[in-house]
C-alpha cells in the first residue's frame, strides 16, 4: 500500500515537472514566433515606447504626449499625477489581483498567491508616472509609427474594466510607490495569459511586430531580439 502510494506520488511529480518544462519550452518558442504584424516602412517612427522588466513582470512606458495626458486624465483620481507637467512617462502594468493587492516585494509572494494567479484571477492595471529618464540601460525601447502609437493607447484603455457609468473607479491598494494607482482590468489573469502576454497582445493589436505568445520575461526578451530592429 505504501509502495503504491509512493509510486503514484513519483508519477505525479514527474508529470508536474514535465508540464513545467513543456510550459517553459513553449514560452521560448512563442517568443520566437511572429505575431504576423507587418513591417512598417522605414522612417515613419516618431514615438518610442519602453519595456521595463522586473523579476517576473513587464511594464510598458508610454511617453506622456498632450493626447495621452488628456485620455488618461482619469488616473489622477487614483493619485497618479499624470497632469503634472513634470510627468514625462506613463508606466502601465497589467497583472493578478492577488499579486497587486498583497505583494510589496518578491519576498511577499506566497504559494497561495502563485496558485491563484496561475489558475485564474481577476486582473488589475497598475498605473504610475515617471519624470525625465536619462539612463535607458534597463529599458528596452521600441519605435512606433503615429498610427501604431494611437492603436496602442486605444488597446491600453480597452484593458480597463468599466465599473461605473462614468468610467473607471480606482481600487484601494497600498501600492509600490507614492504615485501609483490601481484599476480593475478586463479579462482574467492566468498562466496562459500573464502580464507579459498582455504586453505582446497589446503590441499585436497595434500592428507592432513581436512574439506571438510571451508568458515569461525571457520570452519577451527573445521576441525583442528576434523582431525589433536596433538602430
- Does the pLDDT value for residue 101 go beyond 90? no
Q: In this predicted structure, what is the pLDDT of residue 195?
A: 93
Question: How does the average pLDDT of the chain come out, rounded?
Answer: 86
Angstrom distance (rounded) from CA 71 to CA 63: 13
**pLDDT above 90 covers what percent of the chain?**
56
Residue that wins the pLDDT comparison between 190 and 8: 190
Q: What pLDDT does residue 77 have?
A: 87
| Residue 90 clears pLDDT 70, i.e. is over it | yes
Q: Helix, strand or coil for residue 138?
A: coil
Residue 116 has a pLDDT of 63
pLDDT of residue 113: 61
By CB atoms closer than 10 A (0-12, 13-18, 19+), residue 159 is middle
Q: Looking at residue 7, what is its pLDDT?
A: 63
Provide the pLDDT confidence category of residue 61 given band limits of 50, 70 and 90: very high
Percent of the chain with pLDDT over 70: 81
pLDDT at residue 108 greater than cutoff 70: no
pLDDT at 9: 59
pLDDT in tens, 175-191: 889 999 999 998 899 88
Q: What is the DSSP letter of 105?
A: S
Task: Give the pLDDT confidence score for residue 62 in this predicted structure.
Answer: 98
Distance CA 29, CA 154 (A): 28
The pLDDT value recorded for residue 150 is 96
Mean pLDDT score, 170-176: 86
pLDDT at 10: 62
Are 176 and 93 within 8 A, CB to CB? no
Alpha helices in 72-216 (DSSP H): 97-102, 111-119, 146-158, 195-205
Coil, strand or helix at 158: helix
Its pTM surpasses 0.85:
yes
Q: Could you tell me the pLDDT band of residue 21, with boundaries at 50, 70 and 90?
A: confident
pLDDT at 37 over 60: yes
Amino acid at each position: 500500500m505504501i509502495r503504491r502510494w509512493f509510486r503514484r506520488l513519483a508519477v505525479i511529480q514527474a508529470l508536474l515537472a514535465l508540464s513545467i518544462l513543456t510550459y517553459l519550452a513553449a514560452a521560448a518558442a512563442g517568443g520566437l514566433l511572429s505575431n504576423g504584424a507587418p513591417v512598417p516602412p522605414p522612417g515613419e517612427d516618431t514615438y518610442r515606447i519602453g519595456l521595463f522588466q522586473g523579476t517576473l513582470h513587464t511594464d510598458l512606458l508610454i511617453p506622456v504626449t498632450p493626447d495621452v495626458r488628456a485620455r488618461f486624465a482619469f488616473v489622477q483620481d487614483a493619485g497618479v499625477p499624470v497632469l503634472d507637467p513634470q510627468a514625462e512617462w506613463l508606466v502601465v502594468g497589467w497583472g493578478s489581483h492577488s499579486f497587486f493587492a498583497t505583494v510589496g516585494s518578491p519576498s511577499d509572494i506566497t504559494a497561495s498567491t502563485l496558485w491563484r494567479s496561475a489558475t485564474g484571477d481577476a486582473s488589475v492595471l497598475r498605473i504610475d508616472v515617471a519624470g525625465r529618464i536619462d539612463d535607458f540601460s534597463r529599458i528596452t525601447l521600441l519605435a512606433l509609427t503615429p498610427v501604431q502609437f494611437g492603436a496602442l493607447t486605444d488597446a491600453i484603455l480597452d484593458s480597463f474594466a468599466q465599473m461605473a457609468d462614468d468610467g473607471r473607479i480606482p481600487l484601494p491598494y497600498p501600492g509600490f510607490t507614492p504615485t501609483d494607482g490601481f484599476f480593475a482590468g478586463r479579462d482574467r489573469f492566468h498562466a496562459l495569459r500573464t502580464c507579459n502576454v498582455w504586453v505582446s497582445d497589446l503590441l499585436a493589436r497595434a500592428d507592432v511586430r513581436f512574439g506571438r505568445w510571451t508568458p515569461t520575461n525571457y520570452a519577451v526578451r527573445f521576441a525583442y531580439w528576434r523582431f525589433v530592429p536596433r538602430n
